[in-house]
């Protein structure tokens, strides 16, 4: 099913929020690397409240996630499963 070929990751959008979020995904037999991209709302010089804003984002996969580990592509660390 479609739900089997997707994973929902949560990122911190911060106080200003993030616009235009997209994901690049690299998959192999053991891991799924997710690279999220976006732009801080208000521009690079915006002063934002220091709050955490967890935001879910569904990422489409080529195949079922199964037992593969999801890895934060920017830091190389495994993402905890919820």
In tens, the pLDDT along 28-42 reads 999 999 999 988 788
In whole angstroms, what is the distance from residue 58 CA to residue 79 CA? Answer: 14
Give per-residue pLDDT as tens, 20-75: 899 999 999 999 999 999 887 887 788 888 888 889 999 999 999 999 999 999 99
Is the C-alpha dihedral spanning 25, 36, 78, 59 positive or negative?
negative
pTM of the model: 0.80
């Amino acid at each position: 099913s479609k739900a089997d070929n997707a994973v929902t990751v949560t990122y911190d959008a911060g106080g200003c929020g993030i616009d235009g979020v997209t994901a690049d995904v690299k998959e192999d037999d053991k891991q799924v690397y997710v690279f999220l991209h976006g732009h801080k709302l208000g521009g690079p010089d915006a002063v934002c409240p220091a709050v955490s804003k967890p935001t879910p984002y569904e990422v489409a996969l080529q195949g079922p996630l199964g037992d593969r580990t999801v890895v934060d592509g920017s830091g190389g660390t495994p993402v905890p499963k919820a």
